[in-house]
Amino acid sequence: MGLYKLVALTGVPCVGKSTVANILAKYEDVEVVNLNRLIIEKFSVESEGGVKTADMEALEKHVRNLKSDKTVILEGHLSHLLPVDIAIVLRCEPKLLYERLLQRYGIKGKCKIIENLEAEIIGAITCEARCRGIKTLEIDVSNKTPPQTAKLIRQILQGKDVNDFVNWLTEENIEFLHGIREKLKDYKFSSDYT
């Protein structure tokens, strides 16, 4: 087992978590748990409005009881909310992230696109992990291939402090986000409530 027993591989949607996790899963000393799949299969509960949410209390208990002689990587955007030894946050330049989000969700996913762009620009996931007292490292994946990112994560698991100290909270990115909001505001769909 590496330096860390439980590792959160996290970040907003479309930063490459699953792709990188699939590369890391090929190593003999690593076990990857797809958190979204685990939640859907075992830890989802239905709320009053019929919306399924994660039973975080039960999930946390499950994670605390995980037993493995390997480093366990919890891959998913909620993984940093669990009792992990370290959170590795994949970050992506907002304009590139916008293109990826648009490709995944399409124009109908405008709320998801804006919400995730905002979260990336302000560094919400990094902040959440650090506020929980978790050692947190960031990797800027904007100009890295998934294999390059996986290699950096392997180095982290072996004790190297690789940290890109990402800060997207700039006037340029705020103006970009404002422009995206303006561009998408005229698109109304039956699922929009505002």
Q: Which two tokens stand for residue 160?
A: 């190297």
Q: What is the CATH number of the domain that holds 91?
A: 3.40.50.300
The answer as to whether 73 is a domain residue is yes
The answer as to whether 139 is a domain residue is yes
The answer as to whether 194 is a domain residue is no
Cβ-based neighbour number of residue 106 at 10 Å: 11
Q: Could you tell me the pTM of the whole model? A: 0.90
The answer as to whether 172 is a domain residue is yes
| The one-letter amino acid at 115 | E
pLDDT for position 192: 45
pLDDT for position 107: 82
pLDDT for position 108: 83
Looking at the structure of the chain, the number of domains it has is 1
**How far apart (Å, rounded) are the C-alpha atoms in residues 55 and 52?**
9
> Within the chain, which residues score under 70 in pLDDT?
1-2, 187-194
pLDDT for position 191: 47
Q: Is the dihedral of CA 107, 93, 96, 142 positive or negative?
A: negative
pLDDT for position 83: 95
The whole domain housing 28 covers 6-185
Beta-bridge partners for 75: 9, 34
**How far apart (Å, rounded) are the C-alpha atoms in residues 25 and 52?**
28
CB 91 within 8 A of CB 11: yes
**How far apart (Å, rounded) are the C-alpha atoms in residues 192 and 149?**
37
**DSSP H or E run through 173:** helix 171-185
CA 100 centroid distance within chain: 14
